């Protein structure tokens, strides 16, 4: 039978099939879920309709189902509950979406795809989603037999800017071929009493066609927005030697700080964040926004900051008593101060820059966060980190919170930032649960560019050397591979009773004690890193169990004595748990302690502790036996680690080629094991070997050169003398002459303390001694040697990854086990929070590429692009990443150029109370590309919000908020969308041709409906701003030092519509 169908046949099928859905809508008044049930019945009948053309069956949906609060987690739970295969998406799905196409396994009568719908959708939205879903099948995006699923968010599909994803844009461009509108009642003008000043005036003026010159509106808007963009003068650009992206970034950060009071610079590694921030400080001083700034930075990065700040002619000091432009403050010292001393430490600094903000501000209950909150009021906050996203929204909230609740921003979006003015727990809950609010705040506060983004924007002035990634498989003997293959099974049997001896007092009946997912994962990671690190961990664990066994034997067999022992044990373990794992940057295991003491006391009263003591002694004996069994099996590997030998051979090969080599591990133990082995090699010893770790361990000095104690500057200035920005050459040469350290070294081995803030581009070889749990950490490591270069410095960079495929398989197997538990009753929150999804995607890709590569250790060209993309996704929470900031900035510059050519450019256009005009809807974007669709009408509006004191007078500067309202209507449906997070459609509308046509009745209907929707939205914003004022009043009331200043503080907010541009 001929199965080939034409486009015409397919379109006819879709129109006829969806026409039956319209008949359901015509004949029955149904709720959303009931509408889905009727569609499901119709699909079921169609599959068994013998007259249905077989060639069209692959384009027919299998079924549809409504799910409450549809999203990633609810869909997974539904599929698991009904025994259906898990949904696999091409990318990380959004937490919430409106519909999803998910395939069934096995043979089906149709396409095999089921359409899952959010149960809260109205029938009109369900019909729209159904049309769009059939579009994906018709376009071949999803086909019968495919394994991947696809989700859609209706707000994205209906965005006036068009859908952000390519598949959706394709469907939208073709959807008119089969889409048939639903019947809706006609729009009528409703008599309405306008409540917000300016709305009634604007509506009546437009009804009378009393319009202002569109050029007036353009200039008035440009004066408030485009003209406010700070300019980088020639002196700053020359002194800082800025790349174009740094120049644009500095200007954008100043704007964000002016508007919001806080900004987060999250450019990826190697883009020069320090220089960008130094430029921001220079601009803000130049514009009299601040007199002085403070930079809170780790001590190891102070020299970088000092060099970059001095490059721009800024004076720098570390003593608050010094009369300097910028105060450098050691973060470790700052976190130990009292709040009062912290305020004194940065007194007079109106800008607080926090380097590596993710390290200290992620937790709101620590001392550092408390001190930052103490100094943040009426202070601008600029947060700097290349890894802001750690799979938890709460981290972003914690970083922004101290500054987002202050009074510095002139255009704070109250409908979003109100969560920062509430109590921290309440605000955090809103921030974590409201996806739209979270994404809006993140996009407004965060400037996050990547190397790939710059390449796509064709920023030719930024050049990076090409990367050559090598995937090296370590060769193990069959016996060694068998040991790795059974390691996960043995680890799974571990219980480690010393970690939680009272477990059985709180566990459900019959529930077994097992090592948590995060602990099992970390044991595998230690083995993957090095046999030396794994051996130390096993020995530490065995020692812990033996100590507990011996201690329990000495405890009297009385309930009270055992209870006292348990309490002391938990207190001691809390203090020593971090040392147990001997890790520097790994996620830390977390133990829930709530109620444990009460459980111990209750068990003692019931006489259960003597039985517990006996059980714990048996378990300790079991653990020691099992650990000794693992140690015996791995003893040959402990004595001779093939991975260590492979690494040493690679270092020899690279140094013989005349290249400097940087080796980094996430574990201090691994770094030291490699360093010790390399120093013992005569040839490598002559080349000079440095060790840099973050802390001293077991008597080993953290920084060394060829076995001699050194400091960080000794090592890095000798390793990278060209790029190191430490003290001057004379001082370094004198230091080299005064001590016994080698004058130059070609090899540096260290922990991930080297991954941040160091410019080491003298080296061209990086050895990843292990795989990071956070993929972005690999970009951080590579960024030490992959810095912006001149085009004549184009030799490639060699990046090595050493893979143990057996342990990678074990980690993936562990992930699968834990995911099954996460979907049922078990939840390992530490594992879910700390181990980023991108890690497993990374190791799956490495495994796939290595297998395809074969046995040779040749570099795999596609590995770099794949790993860079994974790292970017891991560093940002936004599912869709775009370059709106750059496009918006270019549009503002274009608006400014046009405004400067008009005769209104020098007039003060803020004196007139309101401007209204009529224009034409732009049919193409600012680059001249034609839109695939456009609305029937649109409205550009600007609202002025003013703070009022108790006497009713305006306090401070007004805040302006812009809105773009679009109306899409056909014969039977009407959709109004309000957009406020992008200036692009507003600028396009202002630059479009004016319209002098007379308004028809339908135009007034459009205007009425859009202004009604806009007024509701503005009222929401007004209510939120009033709520923020209320919380700020409470903050003043609690702070006696601020009460006197607060006599003239704001107590209310008023709103006024000041600009309306009606587009037809």
pLDDT, average across residues 467-484: 83
pLDDT digits (tens, 9 = 90+) for 552-572: 999 888 888 888 888 888 777
What is the per-residue pLDDT for 76? 92
pLDDT digits (tens, 9 = 90+) for 402-456: 888 776 777 777 767 878 877 778 888 888 888 778 888 888 888 888 777 776 6
Report the C-alpha gap between 92 and 453 in whole angstroms: 19
* Residue 308 confidence (pLDDT) above 60: yes
What is the per-residue pLDDT for 458? 52
Residue 69 contacts residue 118 (beta carbons within 8 Å) = yes
Higher pLDDT, 804 or 381: 381
Range of lowest pLDDT (179-188, 317-326, 889-898, 1033-1042): 1033-1042
Q: Are strands 99-103 and 113-118 parallel, antiparallel or unpaired?
A: antiparallel
What is the per-residue pLDDT for 882? 45
Those residues whose C-beta lies under 8 Å from the C-beta of residue 38, and which sit 6 or more positions away, are 24, 28, 30
Do 490 and 444 share a structural domain? no
Higher pLDDT, 388 or 118: 118
What is the per-residue pLDDT for 266? 87
Closest CA to 242 of 285, 273, 267, 281: 273
Compute the CA torsion angle 1041, 1047, 1049, 1054 (nearest 10 deg).
160
What is the per-residue pLDDT for 829? 33
List, as one string, the DSSP characters of 211-264: ---HHHHHHHHHHHTTTTSPP--HHHHHHHT--HHHHHHHHHHHHHHHHHSEEE
Closest CA to 364 of 406, 331, 387, 394: 394
What is the per-residue pLDDT for 581? 38
* Residue 748 confidence (pLDDT) above 90: yes
What is the per-residue pLDDT for 665? 92
What is the per-residue pLDDT for 1056? 92
pLDDT, average across residues 575-591: 43
Which tokens go with 10? 């397919």
pLDDT digits (tens, 9 = 90+) for 731-745: 444 444 446 677 889
What is the per-residue pLDDT for 752? 86
* Residue 576 confidence (pLDDT) above 50: yes
Report the C-alpha gap between 328 and 344 in whole angstroms: 14
Do 889 and 870 share a structural domain? no
The upper half-sphere exposure of residue 100, i.e. CA atoms within 13 Å in the direction of its Cβ, equals 32
Range of lowest pLDDT (90-94, 693-697, 713-717): 693-697
Residue 183 contacts residue 25 (beta carbons within 8 Å) = yes
What is the per-residue pLDDT for 502? 81
Local structure of residue 327 (DSSP, 8 states) = E
Report the C-alpha gap between 586 and 579 in whole angstroms: 12
Per the listing, tokens 């001694």 go with 769
* Residue 729 confidence (pLDDT) above 50: no
Do 60 and 143 share a structural domain? yes
Which tokens go with 108? 């089906």
In a domain, 37, yes or no: yes
Report the C-alpha gap between 418 and 402 in whole angstroms: 13
Say which CATH number the domain at 258 has.
3.40.50.10810
Report the C-alpha gap between 647 and 653 in whole angstroms: 10
* Structural domain boundaries enclosing 926: 199-213+885-1063
Residue 673 contacts residue 530 (beta carbons within 8 Å) = yes
* Residue 833 confidence (pLDDT) above 50: no
* Residue 387 confidence (pLDDT) above 50: yes
Sign of CA dihedral 12, 18, 24, 25: negative
Do 344 and 315 share a structural domain? yes
Report the C-alpha gap between 1002 and 59 in whole angstroms: 39
pLDDT digits (tens, 9 = 90+) for 244-254: 788 888 888 99
Q: Could you give phi then psi for residue 509, rounded to 5 degrees?
A: -60, 130
In a domain, 155, yes or no: yes
Out of 589, 623, 657, pick the residue that ends a domain. 623
Higher pLDDT, 654 or 826: 654
Q: Is 349 left (phi over 0), alpha (psi -120 to 50) or beta?
A: beta
Give the pLDDT band (50/70/90) at residue 103.
very high
pLDDT digits (tens, 9 = 90+) for 513-540: 555 566 777 888 888 889 999 899 999 9
* Residue 197 confidence (pLDDT) above 70: yes
Say which CATH number the domain at 683 has.
3.40.50.300
In a domain, 183, yes or no: no
Report the C-alpha gap between 387 and 384 in whole angstroms: 9
* Residue 654 confidence (pLDDT) above 90: yes
* Residue 677 confidence (pLDDT) above 90: yes
Domain count, the chain: 5
In a domain, 842, yes or no: yes
Do 909 and 939 share a structural domain? yes
Do 604 and 667 share a structural domain? no
What is the per-residue pLDDT for 826? 32
Do 203 and 265 share a structural domain? no
Q: Are strands 148-152 and 99-103 parallel, antiparallel or unpaired?
A: antiparallel
Residue 875 contacts residue 268 (beta carbons within 8 Å) = yes
634-641 LR contacts (CB < 8 Å, sep 24+) = 634/483, 634/531, 634/534, 634/535, 634/538, 636/479, 636/480, 637/480, 637/483, 637/531, 638/531, 638/532, 638/534, 638/535, 641/530, 641/531, 641/532, 641/673
* Residue 772 confidence (pLDDT) above 60: yes
What is the per-residue pLDDT for 10? 86
- Whole-model pTM: value is 0.61
Instruction: Tell me which range, 300-304, 609-613, 1047-1051, is most confidently predicted by mean pLDDT.
Output: 609-613
Residue 199 contacts residue 1015 (beta carbons within 8 Å) = yes
List, as one string, the DSSP characters of 552-564: HHTS-SSHHHHHH
In a domain, 459, yes or no: no
Instruction: Tell me which range, 162-166, 373-377, 854-858, is most confidently predicted by mean pLDDT.
Output: 373-377
What is the per-residue pLDDT for 465? 79
What is the per-residue pLDDT for 850? 63
Report the C-alpha gap between 605 and 615 in whole angstroms: 18
Report the C-alpha gap between 961 and 409 in whole angstroms: 13
* Residue 781 confidence (pLDDT) above 50: yes
Range of lowest pLDDT (380-394, 806-820, 960-974, 1038-1052): 1038-1052
In a domain, 634, yes or no: no
What is the per-residue pLDDT for 885? 58
Residue 521 contacts residue 831 (beta carbons within 8 Å) = yes
Report the C-alpha gap between 365 and 352 in whole angstroms: 20
Do 704 and 576 share a structural domain? no
Which tokens go with 511? 């529930």
What is the per-residue pLDDT for 516? 59
Do 270 and 133 share a structural domain? no
pLDDT digits (tens, 9 = 90+) for 89-102: 888 888 889 999 99
Report the C-alpha gap between 404 and 417 in whole angstroms: 7
Residue 284 contacts residue 258 (beta carbons within 8 Å) = no
Those residues whose C-beta lies under 8 Å from the C-beta of residue 753, and which sit 6 or more positions away, are 300, 584, 585, 692, 693, 694
Local structure of residue 1045 (DSSP, 8 states) = G
Range of lowest pLDDT (327-336, 753-762, 802-811): 802-811
In a domain, 287, yes or no: yes
| Helix spans in 722-860 (H) | 729-738, 775-782, 805-822, 829-834, 837-853
Closest CA to 1053 of 440, 414, 417: 414
* Residue 498 confidence (pLDDT) above 70: yes
Out of 448, 464, 498, pick the residue that ends a domain. 448
Q: What percent of the chain has pLDDT over 70?
A: 79
Per the listing, tokens 């080349």 go with 687
Give the pLDDT band (50/70/90) at residue 838.
low
Strand partners, 468: 798
In a domain, 95, yes or no: yes
Do 1040 and 983 share a structural domain? yes
Do 568 and 443 share a structural domain? no
Report the C-alpha gap between 384 and 362 in whole angstroms: 13
Out of 448, 467, 488, pick the residue that ends a domain. 448
pLDDT, average across residues 892-912: 73
Do 511 and 398 share a structural domain? no
Give the pLDDT band (50/70/90) at residue 1045.
very low
**Average pLDDT, whole number, for the chain?**
80
Q: Could you give phi then psi for residue 225, rounded to 5 degrees?
A: -125, -65
């Amino acid at each position: 039978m001929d199965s080939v169908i034409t486009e015409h046949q397919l379109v006819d099928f879709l129109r006829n099939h969806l026409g039956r859905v319209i008949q359901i809508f015509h004949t029955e008044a149904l709720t959303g879920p009931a509408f889905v049930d009727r569609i499901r019945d119709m699909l079921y009948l169609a599959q068994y309709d013998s007259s249905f053309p077989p060639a069209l069956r692959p384009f027919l949906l299998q079924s549809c189902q409504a799910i409450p609060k549809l999203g990633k987690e609810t869909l997974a739970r539904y599929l698991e509950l009904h025994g259906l295969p898990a949904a696999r998406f091409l990318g990380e799905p959004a937490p919430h979406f409106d519909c999803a196409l998910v395939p069934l396994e096995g043979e089906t009568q149709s396409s095999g795809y089921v359409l899952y719908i959010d149960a809260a959708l109205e029938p009109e939205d369900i019909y729209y989603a159904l049309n769009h879903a059939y579009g994906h099948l018709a376009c071949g995006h999803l086909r019968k037999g495919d394994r991947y699923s696809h989700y859609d968010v209706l707000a994205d599909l209906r965005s006036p800017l068009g859908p952000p994803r390519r598949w959706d844009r394709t469907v939208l461009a073709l959807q008119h071929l089969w889409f048939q509108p639903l019947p809706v009642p006609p729009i009528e003008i409703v008599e309405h009493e306008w409540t917000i000043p300016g709305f009634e005036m604007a509506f009546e003026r437009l009804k009378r066609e009393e319009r202002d010159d569109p050029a007036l509106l353009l200039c008035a808007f440009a004066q408030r927005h485009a003209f406010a963009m700070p300019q980088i003068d020639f002196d700053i650009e020359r002194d800082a030697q800025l790349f174009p992206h740094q120049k644009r970034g500095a200007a954008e950060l100043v704007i964000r700080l002016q508007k919001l009071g806080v900004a987060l610079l999250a450019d990826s590694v190697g883009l020069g964040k320090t220089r960008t921030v130094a430029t921001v400080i220079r601009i803000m001083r130049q514009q009299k926004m601040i007199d002085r700034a403070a930079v809170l930075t780790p001590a190891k990065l102070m020299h970088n900051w000092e060099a970059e700040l001095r490059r721009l002619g800024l004076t720098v000091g570390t003593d608050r008593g010094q009369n300097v432009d910028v105060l450098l403050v050691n973060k470790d010292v700052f976190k130990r101060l009292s709040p009062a001393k912290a305020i004194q430490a940065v007194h007079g600094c109106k800008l607080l820059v926090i380097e590596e903000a993710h390290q200290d501000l992620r937790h709101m209950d620590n001392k550092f966060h408390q001190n930052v909150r103490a100094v943040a009021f009426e202070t601008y906050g600029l947060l700097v980190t290349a890894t802001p996203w750690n799979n938890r929204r709460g981290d972003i909230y914690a970083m922004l919170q101290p500054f987002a609740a202050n009074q510095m921003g002139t255009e704070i979006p109250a409908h979003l930032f109100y969560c920062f003015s509430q109590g921290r727990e309440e605000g955090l809950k809103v921030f974590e649960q409201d996806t739209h609010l979270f994404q809006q705040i993140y996009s407004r506060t965060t400037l996050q560019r990547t190397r790939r983004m710059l390449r796509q924007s064709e920023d030719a002035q930024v050049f990076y050397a090409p990367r050559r990634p090598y995937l090296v498989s370590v060769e193990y003997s069959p016996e060694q591979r068998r040991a790795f293959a059974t390691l996960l099974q043995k680890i799974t049997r571990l219980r480690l009773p010393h970690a939680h001896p009272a477990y059985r007092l709180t566990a459900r009946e019959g529930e077994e004690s097992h090592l948590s997912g995060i602990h099992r994962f970390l044991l595998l990671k230690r083995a993957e890193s090095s046999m030396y690190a794994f051996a130390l961990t096993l020995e530490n664990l065995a020692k812990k169990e033996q100590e507990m066994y011996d201690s329990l034997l000495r405890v009297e067999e009385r309930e009270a004595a055992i209870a006292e022992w348990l309490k002391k044990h938990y207190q001691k373990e809390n203090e020593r748990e971090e040392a147990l794992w001997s890790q520097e940057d790994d996620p830390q295991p977390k133990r829930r302690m709530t109620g444990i003491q009460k459980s111990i006391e209750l068990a003692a009263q019931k006489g259960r502790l003597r039985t517990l003591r006996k059980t714990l002694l048996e378990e300790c004996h079991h653990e020691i036996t099992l650990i000794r069994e693992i140690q015996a099996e791995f003893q040959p590997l402990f004595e001779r680690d093939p991975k260590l030998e492979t690494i040493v051979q690679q270092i020899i090969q690279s140094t013989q080629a005349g290249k400097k080599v940087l080796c980094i591990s996430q574990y201090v133990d691994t770094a030291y094991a490699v360093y010790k082995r390399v120093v013992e090699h005569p040839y490598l010893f002559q080349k000079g070997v440095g060790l840099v770790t973050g802390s001293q361990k077991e008597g080993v000095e953290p920084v060394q050169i060829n076995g001699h104690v050194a400091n960080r500057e000794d090592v890095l200035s000798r390793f990278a003398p060209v790029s190191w920005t430490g003290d001057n050459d004379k001082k370094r040469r004198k230091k080299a002459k005064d001590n016994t350290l080698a004058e130059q070294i070609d090899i540096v081995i260290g922990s991930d303390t080297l991954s941040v803030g160091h410019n080491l581009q003298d080296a061209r070889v990086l050895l990843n001694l292990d795989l990071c749990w956070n993929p972005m950490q690999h970009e951080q490591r590579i960024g030490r040697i992959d810095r912006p270069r001149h085009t004549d410095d184009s030799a490639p960079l060699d990046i090595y990854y050493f893979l143990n495929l057996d342990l990678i398989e074990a980690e993936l197997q562990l992930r699968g086990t834990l995911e099954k538990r996460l979907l049922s009753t078990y939840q390992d929150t530490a594992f879910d929070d700390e181990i980023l999804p991108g890690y497993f995607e990374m190791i799956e890709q490495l495994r796939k590429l290595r297998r395809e590569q074969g046995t040779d250790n040749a570099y795999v060209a596609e590995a770099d692009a794949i790993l860079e993309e994974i790292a970017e996704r891991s560093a940002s929470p936004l599912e869709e990443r775009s370059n709106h900031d750059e496009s918006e900035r270019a549009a503002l510059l274009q608006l400014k150029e046009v405004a400067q050519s008009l005769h209104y450019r020098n007039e003060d256009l803020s004196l007139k109370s309101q401007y209204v005009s009529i224009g034409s809807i732009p049919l193409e974007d600012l680059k001249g590309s034609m839109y695939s669709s456009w609305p029937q009408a649109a409205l550009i509006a600007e609202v002025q919000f003013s703070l009022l004191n108790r006497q009713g007078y305006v306090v401070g500067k007004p805040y302006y908020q812009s809105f773009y309202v679009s109306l899409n209507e056909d014969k039977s449906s009407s959709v109004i969308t309000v957009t406020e997070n992008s200036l692009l459609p507003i600028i396009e509308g202002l630059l479009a041709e004016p319209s002098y046509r007379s308004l028809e009745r339908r135009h007034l209907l459009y205007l009425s409906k859009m202004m009604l929707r806009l007024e509701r939205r503005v009222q929401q914003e007004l209510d939120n701003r009033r709520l923020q004022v209320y919380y700020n009043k409470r903050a003043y009331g609690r702070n006696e030092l601020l009460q006197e200043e607060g006599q003239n503080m704001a107590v209310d907010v008023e709103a006024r519509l000041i600009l309306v541009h009606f587009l037809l």
